[in-house]
Structure 1
Amino acid sequence: MKSGIICIIPVFVTWIMTTDAQNSFEEVLPSSCTTQSLYFDFGTLSCRNCSTGQQVDTSGYSCSCQSTYAQNVQSPRRLQCTLCPSGLTTPDGYFCATCSSVSCSCAATESLTVAYSALGTATMSCTSCSETYLAGTGSQSCNPCPDCESVCTASGTSPIYTGGLCFNDTLVASLRLASVPTSTNAYVNENLVAAYGACMADKAGIKNQTACASLANMCVMEQYSLDASSCIQYQAANDDELDFADAVEWREGRLPWLYYEIALNDDILLDDTITEVYNFSPDTVLDLVVAQYRANGTFLGMASVQNGLIQLCQDKSTVSNAAYEFGTEFASSCTLSVSDLLVSDVADTYYSMYLRYISTAGSTLLHPVPVLVSNYEGDTGTVNQESDTSEWQLVSRFFLVDTLSLNSASQIQYAYYLQLDIELKPATSTGSIYPPLLHVTYQTASTDAGTTVEAIFNVHYIASTFDQREGLKISMSILGVLAVLYAAVEASGWRRRQGLPFIEFNTIVHFVIYTISNAANMFFVVMFGYTFVLLFYFKGQMIATTYVPANNSYETYLFFVFICCGFVFKAISVIIMIFKQSFVDIFFLDWERPRSQQAAGDADKISIWRTYFIANEWNEIQTSRKVNTTLQLFIVVFFLEIVNFKNFALLNASTELNPSSDIYTPAYSDLLRFGVSMSVFIVVELLQLIYFKLIHERFISDRMRDFVDLCSVSNVSVFILSQQAYGYYIHGRSIHGKADTDMSEMNVMMKREEEDLVPRRGLETGSDKQVFELLIPPKMRVQYDKIYEPLQQQIRSQPQGNGGMGRDTNVMNDQMRAYGVMKKFLTSFLDHGLKDLDYRVREKLFLEKILGIEFQDSTEEAFFTIGDDNSFADILFYGNEFALFLFDVLLFSLVDYGSENFLLAAVLTYLVGMLLRLVRNQLSRHNLAKKTLIDKRFLI
């Protein structure tokens, strides 16, 4: 402890001296200053001794002269008491007196009259005058004492009478009162000299703390401006020093603490003195108290900030007190009438704030809360609005409403914006915080009738995001590299499936397309992982270790950028996917043979309705999804809005889904809101996938499997080329040799198949495999195009509304001949009937399944690869569920981010999904008619 600080007994706030604790005090109640000689010095927040001849006054905050001592009227800055020989003093206590009567006990109809002399003595007598009179220059007057200018000016050579106080010529010289600069502020100009003169005292003396507090309040009124007269005099009262380094120096100086030393900002803001552990469960309350002062310096005592004491926006206590529940991000704003501010209890009241906490030793301590006034003007301009904390000027006192300081009587000053920042220490100091920081922004307002103003009060939590940022960087780096590498593999696979021997421009374009698609996946995975972990740890922690970045933080900005990029990238990839799927080459190969040949021209005539039926079924499954998207969105909104899972995203420590309407509801965190909504979205999606995969598709209906079965029953195979050298083949050749029959015969055929009396349906003998991935040689593609191109030329020449049907007989005959050639070509190929063009059936390698690439060289022969029975769904919505799901969730999250409305997000997501399906259906319907010669009028 620095020398000069003396604490007599346990005090209200006693300085704790350790090398790590420079700003904390041990708290005791004011009643601790109970002895007759101790008073509570509110200037230094300590108990102090009254000197000889003095006693504690009725307020308990200062000393007064004992009944037999007179107070020096010309020493207002320092209490001086002189023993009166007669043992009597005047009623005002400023003069020794003699009494004409024995006890100076006057009758009920009389008043005690005091006749003062210029020598500082007085004679008391009983008269009928009801006033206390002052004898000035030998004649009696009716001016009460000591607020008596005549006595002041009659004594000494050049006294000063100001603010109701008298300063003799010696005091004037020692206090430099004549050099006090004139203020432009009327209130300050009227009271500054008196406050400054009464405050000044020796280091060892007892200052007039009310006057010192008044002087400090005037400086606060004038926004702590270094050019303000009151702040200049405050500096003079502090031995020409502006600031205090810490509470030790402040208590030695015994002046109100206004300015912090700028060079120590980092030490102040990152002070690790506060050792209390703050919990999320059970909730811990931030115990903040304020020392309150009137503008004239009168001390109003210490009070808790609970029940909205420093909040201009008044509300019920359950709401206003929520601001101090640890972990609750609090924000309130309101519009107030200026006329109400003028008469409010907080008008012209000044505050110094402290955090009360429990030390490791079990003592109750107070820690001063620094204040950052955004309006503060330093030597280089407004410095407190800069991000560089080393330039900030921290202060310790603030006000809410000031009606005195402005020159214009039609204006007031008020605290438009207050924000309390609570910063958690790094995880190594679990549950601990740095000293809170109070931000204050002042504004002026007119007092004209009907004028209203806005007031804001926030409590904001800050935690180090270094680990989070590092985690994001590492995740993005690793997954970004993997995304690019996988895009290179996909581009290589695309090149091989196109039959391209070298990398060329189209390969590079597809590499870019695959990269942005993988980047979208990466952005979602990283952002969901980040927000989910944040949600899990934030809501699950009992002792405070982390906090969610604010909605205007750098992390939230990155989140928004990544989600926007992810959505744009995924939208591009989905559009390209739809475009590719809508222009595949597809051919329905009917294996049916005519039963009889009535005429030579009827040899190839078979029913077309089975092909129409397969085409319509194919058209219907084009936009089938693995899940029910309408049900998906309904369940998601139900859990978020009805069950109130959205409340997990509130910026507080609570995990209640249905909190009481009487308590405060904080804002939602954008990050937590994404984590909650995506968690629900993913869980519902997974549950649907599990249900459809394990139950619905096994025991009720599998649309892909049903389509393959339908092809077998209809005796129609489907030959698809999604790329130049790659595609799919669905083997629908009937094992019964025919399908164009009546119901009775069909039932017989199905019964024989159930009893295993017929061969298996697979392409190969004894195999059930009907779905294959194709890898064809270039010569087969050339032959395919050679047959198909005339057919397509004929189709393109038809009117747009006819689909694949030509009305000109010659043209239609050409089309049918081309169709027949293609049919014979494919049937011969599938039956191994082409000499120079054959195929082999093989199993798909594990690595090929993982990478989505084929290792075989198909230059000379084709390969039918046995893979998943639903592999052909890759050219349908069904096989691209993840891409469509990702598109949905990113769109959902973006709409919610902008509107904070899950219902609106669900509706827009549904509408956009419907639009995509509509576009896909229209394009695919047109392509199907174009490639299969089926009139669009037959495609329902």
Structure 2
Amino acid sequence: MTFLVYPAPTVARTSAAVIQAVTKDGFDCIRCPGSVSDEGFCTCPVGSILVERDLNGNILEEAQCEVCNGNKPASTVPNINGDRCERCQASFVNTSCTCGSPGILSGGLCFPPGNLPTNANPSVNFAQLKINVHSAWFDRNLYSSAAACLVYSNLTACQALGNMCVMNMHSFSGVSTDACGLFNTIIRSRAALSSTHDISYWKANLPWLYYGEEPGLANRVLQTYPVPIGFSFRGKNEFTAINLLAAVYDVRGEFLKWVKIGPGNLQLCPDTTIRQAAAFSFGTSYQESCTLSVKDLLVSHPEPVFFDIFMDLGGDENKKLLPLPSLVSNQQYNGKFINQETMTNWYLSRRLFLVDTLSGREKSLSTNPKVIRVVKSLKIKFQLVPRTQEGQIFPPLIAVTYEDVPITDIETQQVTASFSVEYEMDQDESIRKMNAVLGLWAWSSDVFSPENRQLEKENWPPITTTNHNLQPQPSTNHQPQLSTTNTNLNHNHQPQPSTNHNHQPQSTTNHNQPPPTTINHQPQPSPNHNQPPATINHQPQSSPNHNQPPTTINHQPQSTTNHNQPPITINH
């Protein structure tokens, strides 16, 4: 078993002209041929690799810097870790690994000039704290991911760029060279290209991050077409399971797997599997909250994992998947929080994460972060379709709020997190029902008042009473309690009125319209989950691999957008 030790910079020792540092594996000390990095390792000049052991694994008296041969036939360059010479990418000139002028060297690739601004902004905005962090991860990968996505249509690079935009809260600013600015530059450059599954917001080879900017779009997405399945609590048609699936990506843009949303993936708070599974039974109002240790989060979430969430609509051979929108309350547009106002101004998005301890690292990826971001509240909101008894709902909304946590004392710091499932109904309809009940009660009070009964008593016909031998029936409690200290479950099959959504269904809504856009999904064998090193290695792809799961959008409003889209089929 190999144990990886991360030494502190103070390990390095100097004595006269002798400079010592810890070896890369953390087991020995060694003299350095040059300088020492902030992490306490020996460093080598550009184009060279660090060699600390001989062919038999014995430690050398002094580390060596070996130059990689960038000319044919070797054509090698140092790898991203600086400990091995690798074949340079095909994007370089055939005769050498040198990225000659006017080429731009980034991320191990040589890019032609003039495609993207070279001054990519690696800052991450933590708006709650009103600070920007110069991210080591963004500094290393932002430009290369954007350029490889634009120039080579590299699927992994496009996903990695999208992830960096998500880590920046999907926010727009006047800076076109930050993560979301570069992503939307690529979106605009592909406006004329085909969309994925005929979804105008989802461009080929790009992740789907936004729904669009049209005013009132959130109303149409959330309140126009019911989900084409119904829930029931009785009889042979009983159906209460909420089936959600997610396509999962790592921070480098690699697709990991499809997972069934349930206990242990969207819920940060620890609890029993049975209790957490109750959240996904239709009609169960669920809430859990807890306090988490920052130290534990740094260990359990060294990198963020990203989720594209769908509702599984079933299907015999091909699964039909309904993409679910998310609402990030931290999202900004030119410095203004836009998703904390009325629904008309909402910017719906897709793709989310739970914990980000990576983007807030400033000096290097091995140092502690200056700030981490944790999902403070994640709510899955269901709104019932009004004037129907068929158990129909509109597309669920995933409302997310993140908390920016400045790192001051890792050992003692804590952060709160909560997860809930809520049910809402149109308040106008509930008011109408309430008025009807109150009106009937008022009429009954007047008709059967003592005065009226006395006046009409003489005209009443004889009353015959029949004994039907009615026995009191045992009461049935439809509210099983699965409560814990931090978990509240309420099986309330009649959702209460709520204004949290500000959902005001349009009076012209036609519920016989086609169902929302769905995607037919065929599960594939499990991929290899062995993770690569913590770097992005973009390989130019002449023929992209389209066995990826769903991922992309057109963020620019289009006057010809067709919102009445039929179900879509994808062979995954």
TM-score range, shorter chain: 0.5 to 0.7
* Runs of 4+ displaced beyond 6 Å: 147-153, 241-246, 484-490, 658-661, 668-673
Cα distance, 1:646–1:414 mapped onto 2, change above 3 Å: farther
Q: Whole-Å Cα distance in 1 between the matches of residues 68 and 84 of structure 2?
A: 10
Q: Is the 8 A contact 2:424 2:495 kept in 1?
A: no
Paired position in structure 2 for 1:236: 185
Identity of aligned residues (%): 26
Q: Deviations over 1:750-786 (max 9, x none)?
A: xxxxxxxxxxxxxxxxxxxxxxxxxxxxxxxxxxxxx
Aligned pairs for 1:362-761 within 5 A:
363-379=318-334, 381-386=336-341, 388-406=342-360, 409-428=369-388, 430-447=390-407, 448=409, 449-477=411-439, 479-480=441-442, 647-648=477-478, 650=479, 666-667=489-490
Within the candidate set 291, 305, 316, 1:335 is matched to 291
Q: Is the 8 A contact 1:159 1:167 kept in 2?
A: yes
Is residue 198 from structure 1 mapped to residue 151 from structure 2 by the alignment? no
Aligned pairs for 1:101-116 within 5 A:
none
Report how far residue 382 of structure 1 moved. Answer: 1.9
Paired position in structure 2 for 1:249: 200
Q: Whole-Å Cα distance in 2 between the matches of residues 345 and 246 of structure 1?
A: 33
Deviates more, 1:391-400 or 1:370-379: 370-379
Q: Deviations over 1:63-89 (max 9, x none)?
A: xxxxxxxxxxxxxxxxxxxxxxxxxxx
Q: Whole-Å Cα distance in 1 between the matches of residues 162 and 270 of structure 2?
A: 28
TM-score w.r.t. the length of structure 2 is 0.57
Is residue 167 from structure 1 mapped to residue 119 from structure 2 by the alignment? no
Cα distance, 1:375–1:389 mapped onto 2, change above 3 Å: same
Which letter does structure 2 place at the counterpart of 1:270? Answer: Q
Cα distance, 1:301–1:152 mapped onto 2, change above 3 Å: farther
Q: Whole-Å Cα distance in 2 between the matches of residues 259 and 144 of structure 1?
A: 38
Which letter does structure 2 place at the counterpart of 1:395? Answer: S
Report how far residue 414 of structure 1 moved. Answer: 0.6
Is residue 176 from structure 1 mapped to residue 130 from structure 2 by the alignment? no
Give the RMSD, CA atoms, in angstroms: 4.3
Cα distance, 1:668–1:288 mapped onto 2, change above 3 Å: closer
Q: Deviations over 1:669-701 (max 9, x none)?
A: 69999xxxxxxxxxxxxxxxxxxxxxxxxxxxx
Paired position in structure 2 for 1:224: 170
Report how far residue 439 of structure 1 moved. Answer: 0.5
Q: Is the 8 A contact 2:201 2:212 kept in 1?
A: no
Q: Is the 8 A contact 2:187 2:203 kept in 1?
A: no
- Segments of structure 2 that go 5 or more residues without pairing to the other structure are 1-54, 58-65, 124-131, 363-368, 456-472, 497-572
Report how far residue 265 of structure 1 moved. Answer: 1.9
Q: Is the 8 A contact 1:328 1:666 kept in 2?
A: yes
Report how far residue 478 of structure 1 moved. Answer: 5.2
Q: Whole-Å Cα distance in 1 between the matches of residues 163 and 420 of structure 2?
A: 24
Q: Deviations over 1:236-284 (max 9, x none)?
A: 1112589999862244433101111142322211353631222224453
- Segments of structure 1 that go 5 or more residues without pairing to the other structure are 1-106, 124-131, 136-140, 494-638, 651-655, 674-940
Which letter does structure 2 place at the counterpart of 1:303? Answer: V
Aligned pairs for 1:798-877 within 5 A:
none
Q: Whole-Å Cα distance in 2 between the matches of residues 226 and 167 of structure 1?
A: 29
Is residue 277 from structure 1 mapped to residue 230 from structure 2 by the alignment? yes
Cα distance, 1:134–1:372 mapped onto 2, change above 3 Å: closer
Which letter does structure 2 place at the counterpart of 1:393? Answer: Y
Report how far residue 193 of structure 1 moved. Answer: 0.3
Q: Whole-Å Cα distance in 2 between the matches of residues 179 and 340 of structure 1?
A: 36
More contact order relative to length (CA 8 Å, sep ≥ 6): 2
Q: Whole-Å Cα distance in 2 between the matches of residues 429 and 280 of structure 1?
A: 12
Q: Is the 8 A contact 2:283 2:495 kept in 1?
A: no
Q: Is the 8 A contact 1:271 1:435 kept in 2?
A: no
Q: Is the 8 A contact 1:347 1:400 kept in 2?
A: no
Which letter does structure 2 place at the counterpart of 1:384? Answer: N
Which letter does structure 1 place at the counterpart of 2:332? Answer: E
Report how far residue 221 of structure 1 moved. Answer: 0.8
Q: Whole-Å Cα distance in 2 between the matches of residues 177 and 450 of structure 1?
A: 42
Q: Deviations over 1:441-472 (max 9, x none)?
A: 00022442111111100011223354432122
Cα distance, 1:384–1:246 mapped onto 2, change above 3 Å: farther
Q: Is the 8 A contact 2:163 2:306 kept in 1?
A: yes
Q: Deviations over 1:553-574 (max 9, x none)?
A: xxxxxxxxxxxxxxxxxxxxxx
Paired position in structure 2 for 1:289: 245
Cα distance, 1:247–1:122 mapped onto 2, change above 3 Å: same
Paired position in structure 2 for 1:917: none
Q: Secondary structure in 2 aligned to 1:189?
A: helix
Q: Secondary structure in 2 aligned to 1:178?
A: coil
Q: Is the 8 A contact 2:99 2:110 kept in 1?
A: no
Q: Secondary structure in 2 aligned to 1:666?
A: strand
Report how far residue 396 of structure 1 moved. Answer: 0.1
Q: Quick check: which one's helix share is greater?
A: 1
Q: Secondary structure in 1 aligned to 2:113?
A: helix
Bigger Rg, which one: 1
Report how far residue 324 of structure 1 moved. Answer: 0.8
Q: Secondary structure in 2 aligned to 1:253?
A: coil
Report how far residue 116 of structure 1 moved. Answer: 5.6
Q: Secondary structure in 1 aligned to 2:86?
A: coil
Report how far residue 153 of structure 1 moved. Answer: 7.3
Report how far residue 429 of structure 1 moved. Answer: 6.8
Q: Whole-Å Cα distance in 2 between the matches of residues 134 and 379 of structure 1?
A: 41
Paired position in structure 2 for 1:863: none
Which letter does structure 1 place at the counterpart of 2:212? Answer: E
Q: Whole-Å Cα distance in 2 between the matches of residues 261 and 252 of structure 1?
A: 13
Q: Deviations over 1:523-574 (max 9, x none)?
A: xxxxxxxxxxxxxxxxxxxxxxxxxxxxxxxxxxxxxxxxxxxxxxxxxxxx
Paired position in structure 1 for 2:87: 145
Deviates more, 1:394-403 or 1:479-488: 479-488
Q: Secondary structure in 1 aligned to 2:219?
A: helix
Q: Secondary structure in 2 aligned to 1:144?
A: strand
TM-score w.r.t. the length of structure 1 is 0.36
Q: Deviations over 1:401-458 (max 9, x none)?
A: 0012226623210101000012222343713322111000000224421111111000
Q: Whole-Å Cα distance in 2 between the matches of residues 273 and 209 of structure 1?
A: 33
Q: Quick check: which one's strand share is greater?
A: 2
Q: Whole-Å Cα distance in 1 between the matches of residues 495 and 199 of structure 2?
A: 43
